[in-house]
Amino acid sequence: MKYDFSTEISREGTSTIKYDKREVIFGDHNVLPMWVADMDIATPPFIIERLQNRLQHPILGYTLQDDEYNKAIAWWLEKRFGWTIETSWLSYCPGIVAGLNHAVQAYTNPSDKVLIQSPVYHPFFYAVRQNGRELLTNPLVLSNGKYQINFDDFEAKLKQGVKLFVLCSPHNPVGRVWTLSELTRMAELCLKYNVLIVSDEIHADLVLEPNKHLPLATLSPEIANNTITFGSASKTFNIAGLATAWIAISNSNLLKRYNLQAQRNGTWHGNIFGFEATKAAYTPEGEDWLEQLLAYLRENIRLVRDFLALQLPKVKLVEPEGTYLLWLDFREYNLSNDELKEILVKKAGIGFNAGEMFGDEGSGFQRMNIACPSQMVTFALNQLKDAFGDL
Ligand SMILES: Cc1ncc(COP(=O)(O)O)c(C=O)c1O
Who lines ligand 1 at CB under 6 A? 37, 95-97, 121, 168, 172, 200, 202, 232, 234, 240, 245
For ligand 1, the distance from its centroid to the CA atom of residue 390, given in whole angstroms, is 36
Query: Distance between CA atoms of 203 and 361, rounded to whole angstroms?
Result: 21
* 17-44+285-388 fold: Aspartate Aminotransferase, domain 1 (3.90.1150)
Helices (H), the chain: 17-20, 22-26, 45-54, 67-81, 96-107, 123-129, 151-159, 180-192, 221-225, 234-237, 252-264, 272-281, 284-311, 337-342, 374-388
Q: State in Å, rounded, how far the first CA of the chain is from the last one.
A: 40
CB 320 within 8 A of CB 326: yes
DSSP secondary structure of 85-138: --GGGEEEESSHHHHHHHHHHHH--TT-EEEE-SS--THHHHHHHTTTPEEEE-
pLDDT in tens, 119-160: 999 999 999 999 999 999 999 999 999 999 999 999 999 999
Residue nearest to atom 14 of ligand 1 (CA): 37
Residue nearest to atom 4 of ligand 1 (CA): 96
For ligand 1, mutation pick of 36, 121, 205, 326 (most atoms within 8 Å of CB): 121
Range(s) within the chain of domains with CATH label 3.40.640.10: 59-283
- The closest-lying atom of ligand 1 relative to the alpha carbon of residue 98 is 11
Kindly state the helix (H) or strand (E) to which residue 150 belongs, with its residue range. Answer: none
**Angle CA(43)–CA(45)–CA(46) in degrees, nearest 5?**
110
Per-residue pLDDT of the chain (391 residues; tens, 9 = 90+): 799 999 999 998 899 999 999 999 999 999 999 999 999 999 999 999 999 999 999 999 999 999 999 999 999 999 999 999 999 999 999 999 999 999 999 999 999 999 999 999 999 999 999 999 999 999 999 999 999 999 999 999 999 999 999 999 999 999 999 999 999 999 999 999 999 999 999 999 999 999 999 999 999 999 999 999 999 999 999 999 999 999 999 999 999 999 999 999 999 789 999 999 999 999 999 999 999 999 999 999 999 999 999 999 999 999 999 999 999 999 999 999 999 999 999 999 999 999 999 999 999 999 999 999 999 999 999 999 999 988 8
For ligand 1, mutation pick of 16, 38, 96, 178 (most atoms within 8 Å of CB): 96
How would you label 53-89 residue by residue, b for 16+ Cβ within 10 Å and e otherwise? ebeeeeeeeebebeeebbebbbebbeebbebebeeeb
pLDDT in tens, 360-377: 999 999 999 999 999 999
Q: State how beta strands 316-318 and 325-329 pair.
A: antiparallel
Which architecture does CATH list for 59-283?
A: 3-Layer(aba) Sandwich (3.40)
Range(s) within the chain of domains with CATH label 3.90.1150.10: 17-44+285-388
Packing angle, helices 284-311 and 45-54, rounded to 10: 140
